Amino acid sequence: MRDTAVLWFKRDLRIADHPALHRAAQAGPVLPLYIIEPALWRQPDASARQYDFVAECLESLRADLASLGLSLVLRVGDAVEVLDSLRRHHGATTLISHEETGNAWTYGRDQRVSAWARAQGVAWHELPQSGVVRRLKTRDRWQTRRDGFVQQAPLGPVQGLRGVDASSDPMPSAADLGLPDPCPRRQPGGRAAALETLGSFLHHRGQNYRRAMSSPLDGAQACSRLSPHLAFGTISVREAAQSGAARAAEVKGGRNGWSGSMRSFQSRLAWRDHFIQKLEDEPALERRCLHPAYEGLRPMPPDAARLAAWAMGETGVPFVDACMRSLRATGWLNFRMRSMVVAVASYHLWLDWRATGPVLARLFTDYEPGIHWSQMQMQSGTTGINTIRIYNPVKQGHDQDPTGAFTRHWLPELRDVPDAHLQEPWLWQGAGQVLGKAYPEPLVDVASAARAARERVWAVRKQDGFGATARQVVRKHGSRKSRRADPPAPDRQMRFEF
């Protein structure tokens, strides 16, 4: 009899196009496992909105596995302890999972699991499920390798599986794990929700994707909204890319916006892998500035009052506050606004990205560590290789919310402010009726804060040796100017969500 193969699900909560499931089926009787790790959910980047999304994905996964004759085993505890218990009680000497590019905690956990597996004679096979390449020596020809993976035919259903009977623990609630911040308006999890989201984007919602993605109002409908499903693996990148390619072939040559939208969608899928590859190559990216010259630029610990005001949407800058309040309520924000709230925190409020990053990570239902930490540094100007982009939040409010509908929805206390002054209520002659009472006065003067920040950041770039270090970063991680290392450039600048 062949040994039991434990199939460890992590950020791959599906059975379709699942290389690890196929590998497990070849190894022996399959024990599908998901471990709820309380220590993981106690990390500063975890929240109830993410956990509740995962819980819905697990219910969907449980039903899909049952259709294959398998029972999902749910265990609560430390991964090494859980896996060792299965080894002792079920003869599990083979462990199979997908490669995970997670946060620093999961990286450390995987190192512990690897050491345990070696010590106990357990064969741990980790398979790629995206275009991210483990132990990559050079970014040269990375794009070719990534595209080759994505263009392979998705794996079909697995036949003839044999399961293993094992007990499961009850599913803890978010409250059981001490997770605050429920988000009832977040996107639902599960495979069915992923497929419905993909289909509605490709055939209905995505027609004006390229034009509408910058708008906090229109973007909520026109963006793909696949990011949480890709982050937790209810759909594979390969499935999304190939579905998009098929749709592109259908609309090729049309002048109704679909062709451009499909090109942008494919580009952002490629950039998604690109940014996750950065964290795979440099796990310390989560806690250390990509360019070391920026260490110590901003104070740590940060100004606690400014950090709290920014997090709660009470900076006194209306468009920034509307975006943060929308994010808190829904778990989602369109790409340009994500960039703007980071830039305002980093430049205007002069907060370190390591203080603001966990706040946003908790608020994003679609939190993907590889994208998140790369983008936190990119939008904070600490990479040394990207253009410094200091958003003017007042201008962004006028440009992206010209009618004021978005701002007024999330800031009802500004209902009496005239349209002309909605984004700058401090200029309104009746400002005394609102500011400092129903709505806070601005924490900073937007223009002068931006000037001061620009001078500080550029002063670092003028230091001796800065350029040499930046070139080393480019060689290791690639940049937008390195054609061999990067995918085709998307519209303007890549941000968090596509």
Question: What confidence tens digit (pLDDT) does each residue in 161-181 have?
Answer: 999 999 999 999 999 999 978
At the fourth CATH level, which superfamily is domain 4-129? Answer: HUPs (3.40.50.620)
209 annotated binding-site participant: yes
pLDDT value of residue 466: 82
pLDDT value of residue 487: 47
What pTM value is reported for the model?
0.93
pLDDT value of residue 2: 56
Outline which parts of the chain fall under CATH 1.25.40.80: 191-280
pLDDT value of residue 479: 55
364 annotated binding-site participant: no
Query: What DSSP string describes 3-40?
Result: PEEEEEESS---STT-HHHHHHHHHSSEEEEEEE-HHH
Q: Could you say which of 1.10.579.10, 2.40.110.10, 1.10.1760.20, 3.40.1360.10 is the CATH number of the domain covering 286-477?
A: 1.10.579.10
Outline which parts of the chain fall under CATH 1.10.579.10: 286-477
pLDDT value of residue 472: 76
Q: Which residues of the chain have pLDDT under 50?
A: 1, 480-498
For residues 330 and 186, the answer to whether their CB atoms sit within 8 Å is yes
Tokens of 156: 């079909």
Q: For the packed helices 318-330 and 353-363, what is the interaxial angle rounded to 10 degrees? A: 50
pLDDT value of residue 497: 45
Query: What DSSP string describes 49-102?
Result: HHHHHHHHHHHHHHHHHHTTT---EEEES-HHHHHHHHHHHH-EEEEEEE----
Distance (Å) of CA 380 to CA 277, 346, 407, 457: 19, 5, 24, 10
For residues 31 and 73, the answer to whether their CB atoms sit within 8 Å is yes
Outline which parts of the chain fall under CATH 3.40.50.620: 4-129
Residue 234 φ then ψ, to 5°: -75, -15
Tokens of 168: 């499961």
Tokens of 147: 């595209």
**pLDDT tens across 359-381, in order?**
999 999 999 999 999 999 999 99
Residue 439 φ then ψ, to 5°: -140, 140
CATH architecture of 191-280: Alpha Horseshoe (1.25)
For residues 94 and 122, the answer to whether their CB atoms sit within 8 Å is yes
